[in-house]
Amino acid sequence: MGSDVKKELVKGVYYTAIAKYVGMAISLFVVAILSRIISPRDFGIVAIATVLIQFLGNFTEMGLESAIIQHKDLTKKDLSNIFSFTFWVGIVITIIFFFASWGIADYYKDRTLLVICQVLSVNLFFATVSIVPGALLYKEKLFKFIAYRSVTVQVTGGVISVIAALSGFGLYSLIISPVLSSIALFVINYKKFPQKLSFTLGLESIKPIFSYSIYQFMFGFINYFSRNLDKLIVGKYLGLTSLGFYEKSYRLMMLPLQNIAHVIGPVMHPVFSDYQNDQKQLVISYEKVVRFLAFIGFPLSVLLYFTAKELTLIIFGPAWQASVPVFEILAISVGTQIILSTSGAIFQAANSTKTLFFCGLFNTIITVSGMFFAIIAFKTIEAVAWSITITFILNFFLSYVVMYFHLFRINIISLFKQIVPALLLSGLLIIINVIYGHFVKIDNLIVSLIAKCVLNGMVFLPYIQFSGEYDIIDKAKQILKKQ
């Protein structure tokens, strides 16, 4: 990995990490309060509306953000034309969803969904018109600005949501933050990179990037479909209360994914796109990222599994006990998901969104088949969670087989060599946690959580040090010497 690219990657990850971790703290704080005020059923209602809104958002995005980042030769006129295209498409999609809200409410037999969907339709428009200025922030690698912007918007939205909930707004307090955030993000992005609006679809500027963006769009579409169909199915066939419990477990599982892999992922495409004509260097650089993520993801997956009860009940409260077994099951997939979530950036950087799409298509078929089998055969949220976990692991192997044998045309053994040491560490952690759980019982949830975290840390850190993976002692000496 070249020094300039490494510097840009580290800088981008640093500022993205600040935004993500502050965002995680804010999210946990807000959810901890709202979960004690708002019922699981109300969370289920908002989850349905949110899934549908974000699903339609894939139609409006159409892979344009990644295409803008990848293509270095777009002119100001091209960008203004693309902005005009997103503006008019955003209006059409927003109107369609607004009127479709009656059908959605009837399908789930809940009239509250009507108002929720209509209010959230505002998000569709502002998210769409923010595509071009938002993509330019990443294209110009303005990661520091992006981080401060995200934190400011999230803090403001979180505070307003909590105040609304405490003031008796009920489930409506759950949609205040996303609506205000979408508006605020557009205003900030547009002010940074203003675009001219014209009464044209700007198709002459869309065509040159269409072959790239169309496959990115189709991948985003099916990927979102496969990742969120479970919520729609649970809400329809197992009820909105069950969906509330399931959604909380899923959201808790996604926190480490969003705040580890999603710290690196948004930075990887803008930075690694510089290697689009140097495949060998792209593979070498990516495998370093995979090794790093494996040593974080797999041990973290073990920790989350053995602390599922403590985390769920401390954050959400005792009323959410039914979410514990679901979270335990979903936690098993965290390690593979953290690594897999970065693979898309490599397909993008290698100019192979077509391969990314077909790979995602096969993954979606596997995932959706697993979900329906779980619902039909078992009819429990635990069964759905098992189907998600198993299919994610299968998709992990399928995606990297395609990447290495089809895209890079090299042996995949080099990738698995990066993962095996982390798997050995995880196996050791499982054995120690099982022994600890057999002999030690602590009733206090907070004390139990701290004890388990300390136990895992006492195994993790020496393993990293003495295996030669990372010299923690030397790094600590350097820090102390500087001070």
**Core vs surface per residue 382-416: b (16+ CB within 10 A) or e:** bbbbbbbbbbbbbbbebbbebbbeebbeeeeeebe
CB 250 within 8 A of CB 231: yes
Give the pLDDT confidence score for residue 384 in this predicted structure: 93
- The 3 state secondary structure assigned to 171-194 is HHHHHHHHHHHHHHHHHHHHHHCC
Q: Is the dihedral of CA 253, 255, 260, 261 positive or negative?
A: positive
Of the CA atoms within 13 Å of residue 117, those in its CB half-sphere come to 27
What's the pLDDT at 142?
A: 81
Contacts of 334 (CB under 8 A, 6+ apart): 253, 256, 257, 297, 300, 301, 304
H helices of 378-483, in order, are: 381-401, 413-439, 445-466, 472-482
Instruction: Give dist(CA 447, CA 439) in Å, integer.
Output: 16
Contact between 179 and 123 (Cβ < 8 Å): yes
Residue 1 has what pLDDT?
A: 52
Q: How far apart are CA 238 and CA 478, in angstroms?
A: 56
Nearest to 400 by CA among 387, 386, 419, 385: 419
Pairwise CA distance, residues 224 & 36, whole Å: 29
Which pLDDT score, from 0 to 100, does residue 449 have? 96
Q: Are 54 and 196 in contact (CB under 8 A)?
A: no
- Token pair for residue 28? 């946990």
Nearest to 290 by CA among 400, 365, 195, 181: 400
Residue pair 247/231 in contact by the 8 Å Cβ criterion: yes
pTM of the model: 0.71
Closest Cα partner for 333 from 374, 391, 381? 391
Pick the closest to residue 143 from 195, 84, 69 (CA basis): 69
CB neighbour class for 138 (10 Å; exposed up to 12, middle 13-18, buried from 19): buried
Mean pLDDT of successive 10-residue segments in the chain (483 residues)? 60 70 76 81 81 71 75 82 88 89 86 86 88 86 83 86 84 82 91 86 73 73 77 85 87 78 71 76 88 93 96 90 94 93 85 85 90 92 94 93 90 92 96 95 94 95 86 74 68
| The pLDDT of residue 266 | 67
| C-alpha dihedral (113, 388, 65, 104), degrees to nearest 10 | -20
